Structure 1
Amino acid sequence: MLDQTDIRILEELINNGRITMKELGKKVHLTGQAAASRVIKLEEYGVIEGYTIKLNQVKAGYAIHAFINIYTKSMDHNPFLTFLEKQRQFIMNNYKISGDGCYLLECRFPSNNELDVFLTQLNQYVNYKLTIVIKKSNEA
């Protein structure tokens, strides 16, 4: 479905989602209008689902970055998932997984106090294993 030009367009948009269509066209050897048409088609096909920003969590006030392996206590996960909906400001990603645990949460917290409150409430629904991020490596 994707040709080499589409792949190049996606690479450029991943690197800079705010690039103008004219500049994108130059980088992939198309006119700005042709690049814009391809981007629209990629959106319509669902290849591009949306656009976002990359947030510096620490500068935004979230000093603690944590991964939490979730081990459910019952077959009914709805109480846990409802709890998470109420805690959206702390949840970056919630992955349903196989392997070690049932879910993997990626979370952010302003301080240890908020993390402690969250974990105390979380423990009413599930068991967990906490991992705190010390530093993100710049290597991919």
Structure 2
Amino acid sequence: MKIHNQIRKEVIDFLTEHLQEIYYFHNGLPKIIDTDNELPLVAVYLNDASGEPVTIGHSEWTADLIILTYLPFYQGEEKLDEINEKINDAILFKDFKNFSLTADFNQSYDYEYDTENNVWVSSALTFRIQYKFQQLNKSNLGDE
């Protein structure tokens, strides 16, 4: 759905301004191929999206906005925490065009480790968001 791409792009554009130490941003879940050249990286994706109809042709949706931060393994949790503190503080005080936060705090914060190769360490900062989605019926699309 186009709205999901718009939400991810809006967050990435905003974070690009606030995280000068991050060189790579990814719209959706990343496939990291070259850790030497692709880290540090921040990826933005949505999960667990669901909608409820509010009026004919319109629905209100909620989803988890997940911001992943990947760093080289040697930088560890301390650096992840520092970066995610910046992300959290920035996100909580921003009015976004395409969505709003459902609470004035993040919903969860998790770590993940590359236990096979010890190449990267990551964290996932999760916010619950809400947004509107307009559905067009076929008669509005000009299919006659």
Under a length normalisation based on structure 2, what TM-score does the superposition of the two structures give? 0.28
When Rg is computed on C-alpha atoms for both structures, the one with the higher figure is 1
Which of the two has greater helix per residue?
Answer: 1
Which of the two has greater strand per residue?
Answer: 2
